[in-house]
Structure 1
Amino acid sequence: MTTVLQFAEIDAGMVAEVGGKAANLGELTRAGLPVPAGWALTTEAYRQVAEAAGLAEVIAARRQAGGRTEGQAAEGLAEAARSRLLETPVPDEVAKAVAAAYEGLGGGPVAVRSSATAEDLPFASFAGQQDTYLNVVGADDVLDAVRRCWASLWTDRAVAYREANGIDHAGVRLAVVVQVMVDARVAGVMFTANPVTGRRREAVIDAAPGLGEAVVSGAVNPDRFVVDTVTGRVLDRHEGDKRLAIRAAPGGGTLRDTLPGALRDGDLPAGLCLTDTQARELAELGARVERHYGAPQDTEWAVDGDGTLWLTQARPITTLYPLPEATREGLRVYFSFNVAQGVMGPITPMGLAAFKLAGAGAARLFGHGPAELGDGPAFMAVSGGRLWLDLTTALRSRAGRTILPRLLRIAEARTAVVVDRLMADPRLPVIHTGRLPVVRAAARFARRIHAPARVLLALTSPRRSLGHVRDLGERIDRRLRVPAGATPAQRLDHAERVLAGTFPLAVSVMPIAITGYGLFGLASRLSGVPVGEMQDVLRSLPANPTTEMDLELWGLAGRIEPEPFRELPVHELARRYREGTLPPKAQREITGFLDRYGHRGVAEIDLGLPRWSEDPAHILGVLANYLRTGAAGGVPAIAPDALFARGAADAETAMAAVVTRARRRGRLRGAVTRFALRRTRAYAGLREMPKFFLVQTLAGVRRSMLAVGEHLVATGVLAESHDVFFLTFAEARAALAGGDRRELVAERRASHEREARRRHVPRVMLSDGTEPEAQAATTADPGSLSGSAASAGTVTGPARVVLDPVGAHLEPGEILVCPSTDPGWTPLFLTAGGLVMEMGGAMSHGAVVAREYGIPAVVGVADATHRIGTGDLITVDGAAGTVTLQED
């Protein structure tokens, strides 16, 4: 088989033969871009050496010894593989091919660079994970550099990076690029989109004298240029100190020059190693590369002594968040629905389709529904498997600028700050000045959910109002029932109909809940007590389905037989529960809990994810956590049910104090304030009910779609029933006619898993890719973090950073630090001493539940999960909205 291929023989589809770097260089060469001449030693040569070295046996032995290779097992694997490769002789045919190809380049200085098959991929760049050798001279030295490149596939960092990105070690091979060395006067890197702010069409260039290795390795503070690639305008230039230059050494290798100060070279501006003209030429070259690939690129470049510009590498910028598909012209502003809901991972395709249907039903209430329900409303967009809401119309409306920031300050305080800044952006001027369309839409919405009648009912009869809510739950249950003999097509019709019609039913609870909060505000006005000082009135609210669920789970832990939960791992508990072999009371009580709450789950807004009734492992793990820590049945004064009861008593005391202050202003004021706060206590907990009903609907639709999935498995369309959630409703309907969809599902699963590993999701993003929050970021005091006050009180304790609640263990008194929460997280609140969240506002889910449980909480704390580590001693001041890292 061919072991050497010239760049002109290589294209982007040859990653398996030549690796990512060589495939890109070949593609760039064939596109006519200025790439120095070179060739690639293919993965066939590596295969021969790896086979002779017995690497397959090394990988298999490590897996067998340590399961998934992590920690010391990974390091051991890396060391063993490197040693084998360096000790194994290079086959004669390979050595001769390398020597001949090297002479074909003229026999002068070359760069020898690793090119792995898992490298420069759209989702993982592997930048810097394998080795490069510069200014290599002579065939023997080239062959030695090739051998060291092969070994660099097995550095500790490369092994760890592959594991972090879910890439199988056994499936990775390495080619080697050998390329004419550019004797660079200036070199560096260029991103064709801003990697910090995310803004597209904005090239960021780092440049330094000498070889680009100084910039790539971080050995120098380079000059930086920012260039608008559309207009060619240099937006910013910043001079680095450039006190070091890496240059080619005579006879081979490199040397480091220490420069005495800022570089001053001929006619260049003071200190800068590129002129504006050169920066524009570079940006233009970057734009050509981006157009060729159709995506922003991370490139390396060099300018030789003659002033010729060379492109030495290009790969995708893997850290940029993908843009939502634009449906309307102009600059758009998108808000992450996922972030608002505390679901950082992607949503399955059918889960997204369900939201489009529900969103279409909601839009119709305002008179703005789409022509086709499945298309979703115009304000919904999808990107990165996540849902985005287009806020542009509201931001460019006078009424929207009044309403939107107030809503966000309550629900998502950090986003409110971003929106305030965007209102000053000259690209987003107000163009909708009339209030009448907004008033008409609001009136239409209120009429269609019978808001006036619901408010009147809430004012006059709590018993009937709460009865109406219970009736709604039963009505939704009836709507979800599908006849046993329903065909798959009928199930799909029913699912789409139910999803589009559930929102109007679920949201009809809100007028009652809003009446409670409205009366809370009235009580504040009548009594003269600020709302912020009345938060204790909202402690331990009744009729909140989430807190009722949590307390039921806590009580269950005190009633069941504790022994197996203290002794067995969660997977064994789950197996015994499914087989019905847990102790009798535990089996019966857990079944009863799941009969009532089994439709819930972590990230439960995604129709495609299992419910607790399908996979009870999370709930069993929470019970085990309660019992192992001795929390359940512990000291009554600190048990959550006792705390909840104490919270209700504190609320009564707080109400009495507010009423007393109102009475001082007049007897009638006191009477109305008492009436208002009683209604607030009765209704405020209902704020969780619309989501509870929506999740109830999603669980019912999920059961029906699993039946559709089973039918598609039986007809050979899918591999397993759960694969149906990687199709949309329309695609599932089309699949009923036949045709294999397994390859499509496999591609979508792989994409979903890659997106699930994404650590950062913007909360707000512009259609040009800009992340406004990153654009405005400033260096904060590392010892003090600020957010929004969410639940009063102060607590000092060890932090427990949790990114996924499934399997999380929280000791009593530890402070939970997390990105955000949904009801699947709240069982952890029962043992938490405090709460710190990156997302949310005073009325977000985590804040409300924290107040009800009486634990101090601060929400909207930027990068809390990165700036705080598990075990750090922190103080949470829930009234001031601050988190302080204490000295040990």
Structure 2
Amino acid sequence: MLSNAPDTLRIRQDEWELEQRTNGKEKLTIEGSDAEGNSIFIDIASNGELDFASFRLCFNGSTYVLPSYPLPTYSPKSRREPNIFSIGGLRVELREPFRRWRISFRGLLRPIDISTEENGQSRKLVYVQLRGWWKPVSDAINFFGDLSARKCAKSFTSTHPLRLQEVPCHTSLFKKLLSSPDTTQWGLLTCNVTLDDSAPEEVRLRGLRKRNIDGCRLLESADRIDELIVSFQEGTRIHWLHADLNGHSLSIDHGHVSFPNYEVDTIKSLSIDDVLSTEDAYIPIATVTDKPVLIKKLGHEQKFSYTAHNGYAVEVVSRPVEYCNYSGTLLRITSIKPLTEPNTKYQLSSPFLDYHASPLEKRLFVVPLSHRACQDSNLTGGKGSNLAKLVQLQLDFTVPGGLCITTEAYLDHLLQNKRIPVLLKSLNNSGSLKSEECSSLCEEIAALVTETRIAEQLRADVEVELKRQYGDSFNDTLFAVRSSAVGEDGSELSSAGQLETFLNLSGIDQICENIKNCWASNFRKEVVNYRRQHGQSLTAHVGVVVQQMVTGGVSGVLFTADPVSGNPTKVVINAFAGLGEEVVSGAVTPDTIVLRRVNGIEIEERQTINESMCLNDGDAIKLAKIGTHLEEVFGAPQDVEYAVIKNRVYLLQSRDITNLDLESDWEFMHEFDSGLLTEREILSTLNVGEVLPNALAPLNLSTTTLTLDRMVTQMTHFQLRIKDSYRHFSVMFPVYRNRLFVSVTEMFLRTWEIAEKDPLPEVVVAGTRIITPEMVDIARHRFAPMTIYAHIRRSFMLLKLIIYQSKKHLKMAEKRPARITVPEYPMDKIDLLDRLESTLAEFGKLGRDHALVSMNSSVTYMFVAMLTRGGAAGEVNADILSDIATIFASCQDVISADVPAAIQKLAQSIWTNHHVAEFCKMTPLEAIHWLRSDEAGECGVQYKDFLLKHGHRGIDELDISGIPWGDQPEQLIPMIQTLLSNEKILFNKKEQVSVEDALSRLKHPVAGIRRRLLQMMVNVARNGVTQRETCKSYLVHGTNFYRKGFLRLGTMLRNEGYLPDERLIFYLTIPEIRQLILTRSARLVARATRRRKLQAVQNQAAYPLVQIAVPQPIGDSTISRTLEETLMEVKGTPVCQGVVKARARVARTLAEAGDTQPGEILITRYTDIGWSPYFPIISGLVTEVGGLLSHGAVVAREYGLPSLIAVPNATQLFQTGDLLILDTKIGIVRKVQDTTD
């Protein structure tokens, strides 16, 4: 059962056990629908030996089912993949229990008419590709976990009086139901659907996922089960089950209503007659807490019926419904037990099971291809093992005879030279070596392998076996000698063409010499680099295949599915009159034959650059039939090397096509998207667009940002007396395309009545108004208004926070980073990962401290704003914002503002010590070397002091994959050199403004008691800003400790060859890192590499400040610079008063800001601490993102920089070099006519 443990950060072992595959009976059901009528229904069951699947897809007005419909499709249960259900073309893969499932389908579906339930046997099959991700919008629950004994007893006695002898039976069933591991969870399936050759379309389907492990046996004896699943667009969801047992003599019903505010209520009463009625009537539902739900049935029923693997007749009925004027979809699933035992027999051709050689067989040096031990890939390598399996299958084809030199013989040969093991040890620990050093090492090993004499015993064994197969004439027979590495031609890694093959060899001398050459090719530079890039052992064992040559006919490669699209109806044959090696190597352009295999096999297309095809149609069809048979036996589409001589087929190799189930770029883009409850969620970039502006690496999403989401959610729920603490999904900070967003719905609109009256809270955080009446209407339906008691309680909590709790949490935050630090003593990889994962809770507490200290800053800021405005409610106009900016023009000891001041101080030291000329000529690396040397004197002391205080900070400082200044101090040098170019700016001092002076400068003077209150609150609020920035520095410290800990683990993995470079660890999640350590999976390394490549694409996207529905990036084409030659004026929110006329410097990234000149107005999307060094040299600041308490606002005020925030699309409306007037007194930036030309 699911535990109620308070830890909401780590994935527990019991969660894996509930979601992973078992050896017994199990069941998985996934359904979902949208408002346009698209839907999906997946029902997977296993009887312990076979897996069965029923599948229905409704898409763009048509319905598609599996070709086997109404019977299920089935396949042998895989024992090797505990996280994957794979039946036919359907693949459902567990990535993280209760958090992330990958759903894909690649195969044929049959269109049917669900209004008539016509089975569509006469209709043309359609090739369908579906790729998507299922994400939760609720926590998983034990469906029967809240079933009460009283309700159960009432259910049992509902159909007849309970007899005394039945009591023990029913009590036992009740206990079994309570302890049942059956889980249900609401979620969102986002997927791309492609029909035949059409363009892919994205659909978003919301519904229920059910997982039954062993528990499905409890209701397997039920006579009838009716299940109701309802989803409404506004977020209400209903799941209810009714079961008749013991010959319909007793029944049980149970279910839940999940409301849009995430509260879950147990259903007290619901009539099965109302559910089964086909009339346009109502379904009334009563809950335990007396929250009535009335479902109105609309439209017509659509039915989909099939026979389950156990003989149950299953009917799936869907129809539109309505609740509170919101539309939805009702799904009823009825399962009826057959009257007699089902007579359907499910039989499959036996799959080829992996064979593991015995200890005695593992000692052999030579095994013929016909020997069973040859099928063990660890003994003979990938190529040898596959050939041995083909030998056992040959019927309509022939496998040329031969033998395998085992990996045991290879290891024995390496030990013949004492120098080789020493060099191999160096190669295995070569992660820190330079490329040329590693290449030199490999060349030396390869040379020693070929120089060492082959063992006489091995030579004799080869000769004896060849004579046994070919007699004394074997010396006149031509052979091919091919490398066969362990791991080659596997499901994860092909290594195709990497190792050597030698052809047309005769005689024992040539064969033995080239056996050594094959062994030596194991250390080719290309081979070693390939393994390094995929995190594999650089010293993989290698076998050798010695096989009779087949010449004089047509040869080539056969694919049993289109190798590009994966279309299983296409068989593609490449053919060439000559050696197949030339086709495989790409040295020639072969003929191509495409065959279609639907209800038989027929030729569809022929392509050749020659006068005629080299392969006739009969041989092509024969090859296609052989390939289809091999696909059935091996359970996957095959890549087959063949030769045809005089109508006789020879197979030289068969392996799985490895790339068909790889993730598409679209999948990687949406892999970590959060499940959104409805299509009307309100998301914003707000301050996360400033502190975490780029796409986040997966490790971020499974550690620091996940932790912050949980902590802020718990803090908010505590304030509002909400009991639930979500475990399996993100609420406050949802993710889309690896970008973090703020849920305006959850963070602001749970108290929608406050947001409706006063815009001040949103202006403080966003810098502008973002909440509209439409948004308030959405929230009004979702959340009940706060009671008077709740308002009083919340106010009391905020008062406590201001008076003493903020200081308390600041002191606690100061101590936490040291608790996150990983000890320096040696530990192995798993121990280090466990240590890092175990400190997530402490990091979460640090995040909570920062959130509370920040809340204190925001609240005191709002009090000041209210006093300035003159009331607790009202508009926030430009004059009010200007007065607020004046009041906050100077906050003492703000650590973020100390960064540019410290850099300015270092630059001043360089100036006063007369090092300017030489320093400005240095490259960044030369400058850092000089600052670290004794020659730097006082400048070096200033440099070391800066890194000691601020070295943990830098650009993307809260991104775990960011690089702080302490690790890459050369980032600072261009900024210092720019400062040194202008003496006036370098020695400019900011005027300190007292509270009294600030109040005297207000546009709307404040007097009397209001002025005295304002004086008091300004000091409190200014102190709050200082506390917030100090606490943020502690949070960055904690992030940096995590960064260093994972880089330490990444370095260990790199040095041991698990990763090609240590920073690739940021592109794996914690479960994936653990799996990599345990399995050394090449697929995980390739996955991380592709994620890193796509991050650059994701970083280019910019998003609006706020959106209702799924975030959509802003395209440059949507922003019009219509006033190229005339004046242009846009408004923003002022954070520091002033007027300046200067040239624009538009910089979307920090790299683009590198050419900033003194006195320019910097226009950017956002600023974080990494931009601080530019504040002393610019004359004004304009940002697209930011709030009144954001980093840019705080530091700009410290420097007296005229600044505007929340200026939409500023980086696209203006260009570098534009002449601008920035007037923050009235909140505008204007392009003016340039008269200098």
Is 1:764 the counterpart of 2:1117? The answer is no
Is 1:474 the counterpart of 2:828? The answer is no
Tell me by how many angstroms 1:401 deviates. 4.4
Aligned pairs for 1:186-201 (under 5 A) are none
Is 1:572 the counterpart of 2:926? The answer is yes
Is 1:517 the counterpart of 2:861? The answer is yes
Q: 1:380 aligns with which of 720, 723, 733?
A: 733
Amino acid at match of 2:821: R
**What is residue 1192 of structure 2 aligned with on the other side?**
846
Amino acid at match of 1:409: V
Tell me by how many angstroms 1:422 deviates. 4.1
Instruction: Confirm or deny: 8 A CA contact 1:594 1:612 kept in the other structure.
Output: yes
CA–CA distance in structure 2, aligned partners of residues 532 and 789 of structure 1: 6
Aligned pairs for 1:540-619 (under 5 A) are 540-560=890-910, 561-574=915-928, 580=933, 583-619=936-972
Aligned pairs for 1:622-637 (under 5 A) are 622-630=975-983, 633-634=986-987
Amino acid at match of 1:351: N
**What is residue 1095 of structure 2 aligned with on the other side?**
752
CA–CA distance in structure 2, aligned partners of residues 796 and 614 of structure 1: 38
Amino acid at match of 1:558: Q
**What is residue 873 of structure 1 aligned with on the other side?**
1219
CA–CA distance in structure 2, aligned partners of residues 445 and 513 of structure 1: 15
Higher mean C-alpha displacement, 334-343 vs 809-818: 334-343
**What is residue 803 of structure 1 aligned with on the other side?**
1148
Tell me by how many angstroms 1:825 deviates. 1.0
**What is residue 213 of structure 1 aligned with on the other side?**
none
Is 1:823 the counterpart of 2:1169? The answer is yes
CA–CA distance in structure 1, aligned partners of residues 1184 and 761 of structure 2: 18
Q: What's the secondary structure of 1:648's corresponding residue? A: coil
**What is residue 634 of structure 2 aligned with on the other side?**
none
Q: 2:1056 aligns with which of 683, 702, 715?
A: 715
**What is residue 701 of structure 2 aligned with on the other side?**
352
**What is residue 1046 of structure 2 aligned with on the other side?**
705
Structure 1 residues 554 and 591: CA distance shift in structure 2, 3 A? same
CA–CA distance in structure 2, aligned partners of residues 719 and 397 of structure 1: 50
CA–CA distance in structure 2, aligned partners of residues 862 and 854 of structure 1: 23
User: Higher relative contact order at CA 8 Å, sep ≥6: structure 1 or structure 2?
Assistant: 1
Instruction: Confirm or deny: 8 A CA contact 1:325 1:382 kept in the other structure.
Output: yes
Tell me by how many angstroms 1:542 deviates. 0.8
Instruction: Confirm or deny: 8 A CA contact 1:339 1:839 kept in the other structure.
Output: no
Q: What's the secondary structure of 1:541's corresponding residue? A: coil
CA–CA distance in structure 2, aligned partners of residues 433 and 753 of structure 1: 39
Tell me by how many angstroms 1:700 deviates. 1.4
Is 1:792 the counterpart of 2:1110? The answer is no
Instruction: Confirm or deny: 8 A CA contact 2:886 2:1001 kept in the other structure.
Output: no
Is 1:420 the counterpart of 2:772? The answer is yes
Instruction: Confirm or deny: 8 A CA contact 2:860 2:1020 kept in the other structure.
Output: yes
Q: 2:1032 aligns with which of 691, 697, 716?
A: 691
CA–CA distance in structure 2, aligned partners of residues 754 and 869 of structure 1: 23
**What is residue 1085 of structure 2 aligned with on the other side?**
742
CA–CA distance in structure 2, aligned partners of residues 785 and 481 of structure 1: 47
TM value normalised by structure 2: 0.41
Is 1:455 the counterpart of 2:802? The answer is yes
CA–CA distance in structure 2, aligned partners of residues 31 and 515 of structure 1: 57
Q: What's the secondary structure of 2:741's corresponding residue? A: strand
Deviations 1:85-125 (A, max 9, x none): xxxxxxxxxxxxxxxxxxxxxxxxxxxxxxxxxxxxxxxxx
Structure 1 residues 433 and 483: CA distance shift in structure 2, 3 A? closer
Deviations 1:503-536 (A, max 9, x none): 2222342465356425524653789995643532
Instruction: Confirm or deny: 8 A CA contact 1:506 1:694 kept in the other structure.
Output: yes
Structure 1 residues 775 and 713: CA distance shift in structure 2, 3 A? closer
CA–CA distance in structure 2, aligned partners of residues 601 and 389 of structure 1: 23
Higher mean C-alpha displacement, 345-354 vs 560-569: 560-569
Deviations 1:572-610 (A, max 9, x none): 334555x75772433332122111111111121211111
Tell me by how many angstroms 1:615 deviates. 0.8
CA–CA distance in structure 2, aligned partners of residues 29 and 470 of structure 1: 57
Structure 1 residues 576 and 437: CA distance shift in structure 2, 3 A? farther
Deviations 1:264-306 (A, max 9, x none): xxxxxxxxxxxxxxxxxxxxxxxxxxxxx9999xxxxxxxxxx
Instruction: Confirm or deny: 8 A CA contact 2:1067 2:1092 kept in the other structure.
Output: yes
Tell me by how many angstroms 1:424 deviates. 7.9
**What is residue 239 of structure 2 aligned with on the other side?**
none
Q: What's the secondary structure of 1:797's corresponding residue? A: strand
Structure 1 residues 453 and 352: CA distance shift in structure 2, 3 A? same
CA–CA distance in structure 2, aligned partners of residues 321 and 582 of structure 1: 53
CA–CA distance in structure 1, aligned partners of residues 662 and 842 of structure 2: 40
Tell me by how many angstroms 1:661 deviates. 6.1
Q: What's the secondary structure of 1:328's corresponding residue? A: coil
Tell me by how many angstroms 1:840 deviates. 2.5
Q: 1:507 aligns with which of 835, 839, 851?
A: 851
CA–CA distance in structure 2, aligned partners of residues 732 and 522 of structure 1: 50
Amino acid at match of 2:992: G
**What is residue 340 of structure 1 aligned with on the other side?**
689
CA–CA distance in structure 1, aligned partners of residues 1159 and 1079 of structure 2: 56
Instruction: Confirm or deny: 8 A CA contact 2:999 2:1006 kept in the other structure.
Output: no
Amino acid at match of 2:762: L
Instruction: Confirm or deny: 8 A CA contact 1:811 1:831 kept in the other structure.
Output: yes
Instruction: Confirm or deny: 8 A CA contact 1:520 1:680 kept in the other structure.
Output: yes
Instruction: Confirm or deny: 8 A CA contact 2:1139 2:1221 kept in the other structure.
Output: yes
Structure 1 residues 602 and 545: CA distance shift in structure 2, 3 A? same
Structure 1 residues 825 and 476: CA distance shift in structure 2, 3 A? same
CA–CA distance in structure 1, aligned partners of residues 1103 and 1004 of structure 2: 48
Determine which structure has the larger helix proportion and give its number: 1
Q: 2:764 aligns with which of 410, 413, 419?
A: 410
Structure 1 residues 887 and 812: CA distance shift in structure 2, 3 A? same
Structure 1 residues 623 and 731: CA distance shift in structure 2, 3 A? same
Amino acid at match of 2:811: D
Gaps of 5+ in 1: 1-10, 14-26, 34-174, 176-292, 297-315, 459-464
Q: What's the secondary structure of 1:876's corresponding residue? A: strand
**What is residue 615 of structure 2 aligned with on the other side?**
none
Structure 1 residues 746 and 580: CA distance shift in structure 2, 3 A? farther
Amino acid at match of 2:711: G
Tell me by how many angstroms 1:434 deviates. 2.2
Q: What's the secondary structure of 2:958's corresponding residue? A: coil
**What is residue 536 of structure 1 aligned with on the other side?**
886
Structure 1 residues 294 and 875: CA distance shift in structure 2, 3 A? farther
Structure 1 residues 604 and 625: CA distance shift in structure 2, 3 A? same
Q: What's the secondary structure of 1:410's corresponding residue? A: helix
Structure 1 residues 501 and 446: CA distance shift in structure 2, 3 A? farther
Q: 2:714 aligns with which of 361, 364, 370?
A: 364
Percentage of pairs with the same residue: 20
Tell me by how many angstroms 1:754 deviates. 2.2
**What is residue 76 of structure 1 aligned with on the other side?**
none
